[in-house]
Structure 1
Amino acid sequence: MEDGADRGVERAGEVQSDAGDSIWSSEVYRGLVDELLRLRRRRNQVDSGAILEASAFAILWLFEDGRPRTLRELTEELCLEQSTVNRQVNAAIKNGYVERYEVPGQVSRLHRPTDAGLAAYEHDGRRRARHLESVFADLAPGTPEGLLRELRAYNDAYERLADDA
């Protein structure tokens, strides 16, 4: 029977190395990773009253600036594989939320939301906004402004380091 001395052992959700040290240099870092994973699990939750699937909402979110996009641009902005975005865009087109059209003199076709897509996006967006407003009202002791400031700082630092890699 092994006692765990020769291998990594998991204790209270913490992976221990052979020497018994946590892989995390700080319990704060481990806690942050836990919270980021909680956010990730919630990422694709769909409200039962929502019209759009999460992927369609994400695509329509990108069009909020009013600018049509190529499939390549959508792929880059969504940070997903092109085959995944192609499948998601085709589903959005099939459901009548996005249209693909040709531009004379341009090789790549462009995509833009349809009126039905804009209406569904507005419906679901308002539902999401109301839900987040309720969450933010219960955000104690923090504030939405503080959370925004810290998330921006984190994302900026992450992107700076990713650019250096």
Structure 2
Amino acid sequence: MVRPTHEIEYEQMLLSRHEVLRHRAGALERSAYILLSRIRVQGPMSIGELSEAFGLDASTLNRQTAAAMRAGLVERIPDPEGGIARKFRITEKGEHRLDEERRGIIEGLNMITADWSDDDIVAFAAYLRRFNSDIERLAGRPWPRPAAPDTDLPKTKQAG
């Protein structure tokens, strides 16, 4: 029996091309959005920790963090736990920009799912979480998630 994973592949390809949620004036670069999201959930991180978390080489992360620093989104601080490596922490501006970005994406998702029931949205989110968690398990790089589903998400008006 052939598994229907080809349907997932095709839909995932289509999903990756839909930038409708991210093409807004002043939108954060995708790499900055992911970097800030990870630091927000985990706390200050060194280049080594970021490299391990993202599976990227240090030179790539040095470029990404340098751009985020130039934009005032992150700052380097001494390790709060007394280690030698300096860590990156989100600035107030970075927090604000991340909240703005997330609000915009949530508003877009609210428009897309305007005709969905809350049960459908919850089920879809659960399948996405399971899919991502299985990828993370296979890659050996789990992504921390907030304690509650919306702990680090800014509040937004519901569509409807």
Fold in common (TM above 0.5): yes
Is 2:55 aligned against 1:85? no
Instruction: Tell whether 2:77 aligns with 1:122.
Output: no
TM-score (norm 2): 0.71
Shift of 1:64: 2.3
Structure number with the bigger relative contact order (C-alpha 8 A, sep ≥ 6) is 2
Match of 1:54 among 13, 26, 30: 30
Per the alignment, do residues 116 and 152 of structure 1 end up closer, same or farther by CA in structure 2, a change over 3 Å counting? Answer: closer
2:110 paired residue number: 133
Percent of aligned positions that are identical = 30
TM-score, normalisation: structure 1: 0.69
Counterpart of 1:34 in structure 2: which amino acid?
Y
In 2: Cα distance, 1:52 partner to 1:102 partner: 26
CA RMSD of aligned residues (A): 2.8
Tell me the residue number matched to 1:15: none
Deviation, structure 1 residue 109: 0.7
Q: Is the 8 A contact 1:44 1:54 kept in 2?
A: no
Count of residues in correspondence between the two structures = 138
Q: Does residue 1:151 correspond to 2:128, yes or no?
A: yes
Counterpart residue identity of residue 110, structure 2: E
Q: Deviation string for 1:1-44 (max 9, x for gaps)?
A: xxxxxxxxxxxxxxxxxxxxxxx934x22111001122233479
Deviates more, 1:38-47 or 1:106-115: 38-47
Give the AA of the match of 1:85: L
Show structure 2 runs of 5+ residues with no match. Answer: 141-160
Indicate the structure (1 or 2) with the bigger Cα radius of gyration.
1
Q: Aligned AA for 1:71?
A: I
Q: Of 18, 25, 32, which residue of structure 1 is paired with 2:2? A: 25
Cα deviation, residue 158, structure 1: 4.0
| Structure 2 Cα separation of the partners of residues 95 and 156 of structure 1 | 31
- Do the aligned partners of 2:76 and 2:86 also contact (CA within 8 Å) in 1? yes
Q: Which residue of 2 aligns with 1:108?
A: 85
Residues of 2 paired with 1:81 and 1:61: CA distance? Answer: 19
